[in-house]
């Protein structure tokens, strides 16, 4: 991916982070999922008092995309931090949880890129196979 594409994806994830519903953890996460055709689907974490039905930002983005018949993905950018932290002042990277990694395994190739960022100039990129070695299932 080009630097400009990465920056744009991170900026979209930051916008979605602000939409998060996190009254229990007070930790807001945003994600921006890029399809092979260049379309971006955003997602935020949505919590529930029954923690098991909480949905992560990454899965929200994937489920939105798949519900719109998208099944070919290039990359996802993920940002997260405490709700009181300003958009461009994130102090740590927000890595996808195991459930989200498994959802990625279902829909993505092993070279799918996962971008974790604190800001547009401070990010790390991993492939799905790096974050989920010896994963199972999926169509890839």
Q: Which of these, 80, 46, 81, lies nearest to 63 by C-alpha position?
A: 46
Q: Is residue 114 packed enough to be buried (19+ CB in 10 Å), middle (13-18) or exposed (0-12)?
A: buried
Answer whether 124's CB lies under 8 Å from 114's CB. Answer: no
Instruction: Show which residues are catalytic.
Output: 58
């Amino acid at each position: 991916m080009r630097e400009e594409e990465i920056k744009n994806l991170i900026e979209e994830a930051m916008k979605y982070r602000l939409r998060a519903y996190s009254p229990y953890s007070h930790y807001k996460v945003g994600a921006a999922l890029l399809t092979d055709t260049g379309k971006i689907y955003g997602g935020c974490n949505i919590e529930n008092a029954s923690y098991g039905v909480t949905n992560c930002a990454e899965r929200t983005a994937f489920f939105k995309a798949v519900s719109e018949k998208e099944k070919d993905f290039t990359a996802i950018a993920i940002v997260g931090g405490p709700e009181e932290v300003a958009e461009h002042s994130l102090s740590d990277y927000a890595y996808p949880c195991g459930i989200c990694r498994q959802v990625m395994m279902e829909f993505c190739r092993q070279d799918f890129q996962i971008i974790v960022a604190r800001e547009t100039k401070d990010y790390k990129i991993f492939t799905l196979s790096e974050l989920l070695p010896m994963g199972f299932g999926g169509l890839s």
